[in-house]
Each structure stands twice: as C-alpha cells, then as structure tokens.
C-alpha cells in the first residue's frame, strides 16, 4: 500500500473521529440497553463468545441458560429460502417450506414504487415468521455499476436515490412486521468476479454520493437492525474488519445500533474483525470461536469490546421476538395474501420499450399465436448459485397466456433455442466438444420447428432473455448479448413472419440491437416472481397498461458503459481478449489506448472505480453518449401531457425545500400509471457534477381524461456534495436547473432557480 494511500486513509479516519458523534438517528434498539446491562452481568465469557459466530448454517447462538433464543436467518431477498440441513447447503426436505417467489430486485425497482417496496417487505416478513425466522438476509441494495454484474437482477438500480427510496420501503415493511432486515452487501460489492478477493479503490465522494446512500437511508429513515459485511475489500481493508465503514460511518455517524454479520465465509481475522465492528462470523467459527476466546484471555481483545458486540446482538434479539418452535414450519409458507403482493409488484414492473400499435394483442378474431422461446416455460425462482426460492408455484409466461386467453385464441408453443443450464464442476475438453456438437444439432431442429410454427401464425410472441443460470451470484456475464443464439433465431423467424412481439425475461441489461430493430413491440418482464406469467399476459392483452420504468440504462453496446469504457472492468490480463481489439484505438469518448493498456496489466483483484460518480445515466448524459433506452424509460398504452410547471420560489436557502408543481393529464383512452421524475442539473457549480441527477419521482395513476396537479419536494440538503477536503457534507449553492420528465432521456420542461 503506497504512502499516499496510507496517509489518505489515516487522515480520513482522524476526520471521521472528529466528525463522529454527529449521530443523525436514534435507534429504537437503544431502549433495551438497561435490561441488557443485567444480562451481560450474568453471562460468562464463553457464553458471550458463543454468540459471535455461526451455530448452524443459518443461525447464531443465544444464551440457553438465560432463556435467550438463537438468532435465525433466512435468505432473501426475493423469497424465504427453503429449510437447509443445519450444517450444510443440502435441503432439509420439508414440504411446508414452499414460499412465495417475489419479483427480484430489478423488477421491484422497475415499479419505482416505495409503497410496493413496503408491501414487498411486509410479505417477506410474514413468510419469514411462518418459518420461525428473525432476520431476512436482504434487501440486496448494492448499486448496479456494471451491466454484466451477476447479481444485477438481485440489486435494485444504478441510481442511489431510487435505490434508497425502495430500500427504506422494504426495510419498513419487514421491520413493522416482526422481522429484521440485513442490508447487503455492505459495501461496494458491485461485481461477482473475484468477489471474495477484489479490492475496491474508490474516492470518498463517489462512495458517499453513489454507493452508501441506500444503506444510509435504510438505517437513518427505517432503523435497519442488521447489516451484512461484503466479501470484498474497500480501500485495502476487508469489509468485515473495516473500521471506517462499520464503526465510523455506519455506527458513529448514521446511528446504527444493531448487528453486523459477515457474508458466508467472509471473515478474515479475530482481533481486527471483532474490534472493527463485526458481531457474527457466519457460518463458521474459525476466527470468532476458540481463537477469540484465546485472544481475550491473552489480553489481545478487551472483554469490553466483547460486551459491546454482544450488546448489539442482544438489542436485536430483544426487539425481535423469537417464534416458538411449535409455531414454525407448521403450514405452507406461501399464502394468497403474499401471492397477491407478488402479482401487484410484477404487474407494475413490466417495461414496454417499443410498440408500433401491435399491442395490446387483439384476440377478437381468435388469432393463432406462436409463442416461441424457452423462456416461455422457464422457471426463474431457482438456478445458478444464488439464493433461490423453493416456490409453491410459478406462473410462467406460457401458463399466464393460457390462463388469460383460454380458448379465445390458438396458442402454439415452440422452444426455439437451447437454454443455458448451470452445472457444477469443470468439464473435460472432450465433454465440452461433445455437448457443443449436440447443442448445434438441437439448435438446428428447434430453429426449423420455430420457423414452421411462426410461418403459420398471425402473431409471434418471442419470449427470450436471460435466466438464473446466465445471471448468477458468483460470476459476472462476459457480455450482454442475448444467450442461446436468440438474435440469430429471431432473424430466422422474421423471414417467415414480421408480426413479432418480443418479451425479454431478464434481470439485467441485454444488447437489444437485433431484437429492437426486428420486433414491432419490445418489453422487459424480468425474473418476475410467482405471478409473473399472469402479470405479463394481463399487460400483453391490455387488461392492464404496462407501467414499469427502467431502473438502469440500456446501452447501445456494453463497451459504452463507464467501467468498460475506462478499462476499469473486467480487471486483469485474463480478459485481454475483451480489450485487445480496443487497446489499439482511442475510443469515441477519448479514453486513450494507454488507459486501456494500463487496465490490461491491472491486478484482477483491484477494482479501480475511477469513473467515480459517473455511474449509469450519469456517465451517458455527461459524456453525451447515445443509449438504446434511457434510465427511467417506459411506455404505457396511453399518453400523458405535462403542463404549467412552476416552483414555489425563485431562490432557496440551504435549509429550504424546493417545491416543483405541474399539471399531468392522461390524454389517452386507457387508465395507466406515469412515473414523473425530477432531475437536477447544476448550471454554475463550484465543484464538478454529473450532467444531471434524479432527486424526486412519483408514480401517479390517472384515468382517461383525468388530470392532476402534482407537487414534488426536493430538500436543498439533498443537493449537498461530499467535500473530500473537509471530509464532510458541504453545500454548493449555485444556480440549478430543475428538469421534469418521463425519463432521463425525455425531459418535458426545465426551470432555473438559485440556491443562495
């Protein structure tokens, strides 16, 4: 670690100590401290240390002698994971643990609805409690920095404000229904490649303004009780022993009073981990078991630190009542109330990107509909490595269409392509060769069948996209191309039938160049949960209008996105092929070949966030780069008119609230939701800013002809920047432009006001 960085970290730590004590939030957990004093008095050192590591795969110990129950965890964040064997990943084989599969993170984010996030959290809590759980390992709220991120589907958005609003909603929903959240993965776990070893190098300002806000909001506004330390390092320190992240910022500054657990296998020391804030090593006891006991006895760790870590756990334990053994796992986890929530979220998440009028589908003349694509029958609840959901049921797109269409049209299904299937372990070259040959033969057959079915249909519904083996925890995608030769297949289909509606059930961005030009309508329907197929069918048939909005930018090509364009990702030589053809030329955005060649030599375990705050649309808008579809974009089956913009003042002080009002009218023939968005552009700032930033939004339902006067509020405090010299939030009181629109790429009107 070079001297400069050591100095920076030391200075930052000192400043943080000075600025600490400015706790912004008082947790309800503090009310238990008096009782906890008495409990700790009675505990032996052994009992205290027993609480600080895994007891089973998904539980940590209480104090049986004192009647304090174990803490029971359940993976989320989009469904309560099946019951596992106590000391392995193998299922217990219950029948009652079939849960509701809620739409995954990016789908929830596509609703742009904190209210639905609250409902979502409520549903998750209800099912967690039926399973006897105390803490849900979710929400997963890392910012989507790279389009290829293996867990982009699980996370929420590329934007910190949207992610924050939804994190607060989810957290309140869970914690107002007798369970605790565990915000993950704290922090800067934005890639899966080398996730267990990568060292994120990031400036304070980008960390504070982009990557930490969702965690901060859930702590300060929703009093989150749990946090999961991420696998990676941040500025040379493992997250699970990162004093700045865990003590200085999370606890001292934000007022977090709960407990921090490691990610599974993400603990790296004994003394540092427990001193710098980690409460529980999960699921093992390599560091915080006997080694910790020995360290205390050897005087390397004070019992005062142990008492503090125990106190933080007991606060959560006292707040979250344990579920009596006899009540847990007694009936099927998934209940109609939660299935309804899953439908509500799914039906508001579907994003209509393009429609030449072919939608809603007209079934008045009993058309023949060719449903082509393996994703039409693909189960998305499980797959890949990540925490899947053993779900009671999952309505696939094909089932949803059959449910809603019945005999009013003739549906003919063709698989179309061979889906990607996740398999464990490495395969021999011979095995790979054999499988490739078989896949080629199968693909030819499926293509022929698809063309045949399409040639006889009035309409082709192409259901493609990724699946849970393509997007998975543990690895990032190599590119964003549609898998399994879908581009080639749709081109073949278009030779025999031009009437193509394409639905992509993906969780993360895809390269849409081929499907967008060929399809007369194009939608994203996500990994959309137990009721996803019914919601999709309702949208396609016009029973409801689509109303989802993109939570991330869809780039024209992957190389345009910031971490790729700057050669910051993927790291290291092993990806030389990715940049080999780019290194020799200066890119359209002027990033020289030297920068890229520098990247080639970068240690695969160093993630250089040199794009800083220019993540997602912040990058594309600042660099004036064209995108395929912008952040916040989504069509409906109606039209909305914006008019009469005004603000309640022309200038605002640093403690004021900006109120921007305008008229919104549904000028079409169908009820629908509009998500109005307000971005801020700084006109004459004193520091550098992205071109614009989202600072307010609202989802509004309007009937045909209905109009509403809307007022959105932006506290000037929310426009501060993190001053890296002062190591504190600071005001940039400049002239700003309020930009009101339907997406980052569709600003309806602008208004300049002054911050004084």
Catalytic residues: 263
Comparing CB distances to ligand GLC, the nearer of 146 and 714 is 146
| Minimum CB distance to ligand GLC smaller for 228 or for 676 | 228
- Relative orientation angle of helices 336-347 and 114-130, to the nearest 10 degrees: 150
Query: Residue 150 in contact with residue 475, Cβ under 8 Å?
Result: yes
Pairing outcome for strands 640-647 and 657-666? antiparallel
HSE (side-chain half, CA atoms, 13 Å) at 654: 8
Give, as ranges, the residues between 284 and 303 that touch ligand GLC (CB under 6 A): none
To ligand GLC, the closest distance from the beta carbon of 443 in angstroms equals 34
* Spatial distance between the Cα atoms of 742 and 205, rounded to a whole number of angstroms: 28
Least distance (Å) from ligand GLC to the CB of residue 142?
10
Q: Which of 142, 138, 235, 220 is nearest to 186 (CA)?
A: 142
Nearer of residues 195 and 477 to ligand GLC, judged by Cβ: 195
146: part of which helix (H) or strand (E)?
A: none
CB distance 71 to 317 below 8 Å: yes
**Could you tell me the smallest distance in angstroms from the CB atom of residue 528 to ligand GLC?**
21
When asked if residue 75 is in the footprint of ligand GLC (CB under 6 A), the reply is: yes
Q: Cα dist. 739→548, 678, 750 in Å?
A: 21, 6, 5
Strands 746-755 and 735-743: antiparallel
- Rounded to a whole number of angstroms, the minimum distance from the CB of residue 128 to ligand GLC is 13
Minimum Å gap between C-beta 231 and ligand GLC is: 7
Nearer to ligand GLC, 388 or 465 (CB): 388
Burial 204-223 (b: 16+ CB within 10 A, else e): bbbbbbbbbbbbbbbbbbbb
Q: Which of 445, 23, 448 is nearest to 256 (CA)?
A: 23
Q: CA 389 to CA 334: how far, in whole Å? A: 11
Q: Is 263 in the site for ligand GLC (CB under 6 A)?
A: yes
Strand partners, 673: 701
Output DSSP code: residue 210: I
Choose which of 78, 186, 264, 633 interacts with ligand GLC (CB under 6 A): 264
Residue with smaller CB distance to ligand GLC, 87 or 557: 87
Question: Coil, helix or strand for 721?
Answer: strand
Cβ proximity of 752 and 737 under 8 Å: yes
Answer for which of 387, 398, 521, 714 binds ligand GLC (CB under 6 A) is: 387
Taking CB under 6 A as the rule, which mask of x and - marks residues 643-672 in contact with ligand GLC?
------------------------------
Task: Report, in Å, the least distance between residue 618 CB and ligand GLC.
Answer: 26
The 692-721 contact track toward ligand GLC, x by CB under 6 A, reads: ------------------------------
Q: What CA–CA distance (Å, rounded) separates 302 from 300?
A: 7
Contacts with ligand GLC in 529-588 (CB under 6 A)? none
- CB distance 316 to 135 below 8 Å: yes
Our finding on whether 253 is near ligand GLC (CB under 6 A) is: no
Residue 53: CB minimum distance to ligand GLC, A: 15
Contacts of 64 (CB under 8 A, 6+ apart): none
- Residue 142 CB neighbour total at 10 angstroms: 26
CA distance 100 to 79: 6
Contact between 128 and ligand GLC by CB under 6 A: the answer reads: no
Distance between CA 173 and CA 323 in Å, rounded? 18
Nearer Cβ to ligand GLC (75/209): 75
Q: Where are the beta strands (DSSP E) in 415-555?
A: 459-464, 500-504, 521-524, 554-555
Q: Which of 431, 436, 434, 426 is nearest to 484 (CA)?
A: 436
139 or 169: CB nearest ligand GLC: 139
Tell me whether residue 48 or residue 151 sits nearer to ligand GLC (CB atom).
151
Q: Which is nearer to ligand GLC, 78 or 264 (CB)?
A: 264
3-state helix, strand, coil in the chain (%, to 5): 35, 20, 45
Compute the least distance from the CB of residue 474 to ligand GLC, in Å: 8
For ligand GLC, the closer CB: 184 or 692: 184
What's the per-residue H, E or C state across 234-303?
ECCEEHHHCHHHHHHHHHHHCCCCCEEEECCCCCCCCHHHHHCCCCEECCCCCCCCHHHHHHHHCCCCCH
d(CA 364, CA 542): 13
Q: What is the DSSP string of 632-681?
A: T--B-SS-EEEEEEEES-SEE-TT-EEEEEEEEEE-SSS-EEEEEEEEEE
Q: Write out the binding residues for ligand GLC, residues 164-193 only, by CB under 6 A.
A: 184
Total binding residues for ligand GLC by CB under 6 A? 6
Residue 137 contacts ligand GLC per CB under 6 A: yes
From the CB of 616, what's the least distance to ligand GLC, in Å?
22
CB nearer to ligand GLC: give 197 or 491. Answer: 197
- Which residues of this chain interact with ligand GLC, rule CB under 6 A? 75, 137, 184, 263-264, 387
């Amino acid at each position: 670690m070079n001297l400069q960085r050591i100095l920076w970290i030391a200075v930052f730590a000192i400043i943080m100590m000075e600025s600490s004590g400015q706790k912004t939030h008082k947790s309800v957990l503090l009310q238990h401290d008096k009782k906890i004093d008495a409990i700790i008095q009675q505990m032996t050192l052994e009992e205290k240390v027993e609480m600080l590591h895994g007891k089973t795969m998904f539980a940590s110990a209480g104090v049986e002698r004192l009647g304090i129950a174990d803490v029971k965890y359940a993976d989320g964040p989009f469904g309560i994971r099946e019951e596992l064997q106590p000391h392995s990943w193998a299922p217990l084989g219950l029948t009652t643990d079939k849960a509701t599969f809620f739409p995954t993170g990016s789908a929830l984010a596509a609703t742009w609805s904190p209210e639905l996030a609250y409902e979502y959290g409520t549903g998750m809590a209800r099912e967690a409690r039926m399973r006897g759980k105390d803490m849900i390992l979710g929400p997963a709220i890392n910012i989507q920095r790279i389009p290829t991120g293996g867990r982009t589907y699980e996370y929420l958005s590329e934007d910190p404000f949207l992610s924050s609003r939804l994190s607060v909603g989810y957290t309140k929903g869970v914690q107002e229904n007798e369970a605790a959240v565990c915000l993950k993965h704290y922090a800067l776990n934005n890639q899966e490649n080398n996730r267990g070893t990568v060292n994120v190098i990031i400036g304070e300002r980008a960390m504070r303004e982009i990557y930490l806000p969702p965690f901060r909001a859930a702590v300060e506004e929703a009093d989150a009780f749990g946090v999961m330390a991420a696998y990676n390092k941040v500025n040379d320190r493992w997250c699970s022993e990162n004093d700045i992240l865990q003590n200085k910022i999370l606890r001292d500054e934000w007022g977090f009073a709960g407990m921090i657990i490691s990610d599974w296998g993400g603990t790296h020391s004994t003394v540092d981990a427990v001193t710098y804030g980690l409460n529980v090593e999960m699921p093992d006891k390599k560091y915080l078991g006997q080694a910790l006991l020995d360290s205390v006895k050897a005087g390397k760790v004070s019992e005062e630190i142990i008492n503090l870590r125990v106190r933080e756990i007991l606060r959560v334990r006292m707040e979250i009542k344990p579920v009596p053994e006899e009540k847990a796992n007694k009936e099927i986890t998934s209940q109609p109330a939660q299935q309804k929530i899953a439908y509500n979220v799914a039906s508001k998440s579907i994003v209509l990107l393009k429609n030449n009028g072919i939608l809603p589908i007209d079934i008045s003349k009993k058309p023949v509909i060719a449903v082509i694509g393996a994703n039409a029958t693909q189960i998305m609840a499980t797959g890949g490595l990540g925490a899947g959901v053993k779900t009671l049921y999952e309505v696939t797109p094909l089932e949803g269409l059959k449910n809603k269409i019945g005999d009013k049209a003739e549906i003919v299904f063709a698989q179309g392509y061979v889906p990607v299937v996740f398999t464990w372990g490495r395969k021999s070259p011979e095995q790979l060769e054999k499988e490739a040959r078989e896949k080629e033969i199968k693909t030819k057959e499926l293509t022929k069948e698809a063309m045949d079915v399409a040639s006889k249909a009035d309409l082709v519904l192409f259901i493609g996209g990724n699946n849970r083996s393509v997007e998975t925890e543990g690895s990032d995608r190599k590119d964003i191309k549609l898998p399994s030769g879908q581009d080639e297949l749709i081109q073949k289909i278009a030779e025999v039938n031009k009437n193509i509606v394409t639905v992509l059930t993906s969780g993360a961005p895809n390269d849409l160049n081929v499907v967008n030009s060929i399809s007369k309508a194009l939608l994203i329907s996500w990994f959309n949960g137990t009721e996803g197929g019914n919601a999709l069918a309702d949208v396609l048939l016009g029973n409801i209008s689509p109303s989802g909005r993109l939570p991330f930018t869809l780039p024209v090509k992957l190389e345009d996105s910031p971490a790729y364009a700057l050669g910051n990702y993927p790291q290291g030589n092993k990806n030389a092929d990715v940049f080999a053809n780019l290194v020799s030329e200066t890119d359209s955005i002027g990033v020289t070949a030297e920068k890229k060649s520098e990247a080639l030599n970068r240690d695969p375990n160093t993630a250089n966030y040199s794009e800083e705050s220019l993540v997602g649309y912040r990058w594309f808008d600042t660099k004036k780069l064209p995108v395929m579809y912008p952040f916040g974009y989504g069509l409906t089956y109606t039209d909305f008119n914006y008019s009469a913009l005004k603000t309640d003042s022309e200038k605002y002080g640093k403690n004021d609230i900006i109120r921007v009002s305008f008229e919104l009218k549904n000028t079409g023939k169908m009820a629908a939701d509009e998500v109005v968005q307000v971005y801020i552009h700084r006109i004459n700032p004193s520091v550098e800013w992205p071109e614009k930033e989202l600072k307010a939004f609202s989802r509004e339902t309007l009937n045909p002809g209905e109009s509403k006067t809307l007022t959105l509020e932006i506290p000037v405090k929310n426009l501060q920047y993190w001053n890296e010299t002062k190591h504190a939030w600071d005001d940039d009181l400049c002239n700003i432009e309020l930009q009101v629109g339907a997406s980052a790429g569709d600003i309806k009107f602008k208004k300049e006001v002054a911050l004084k």
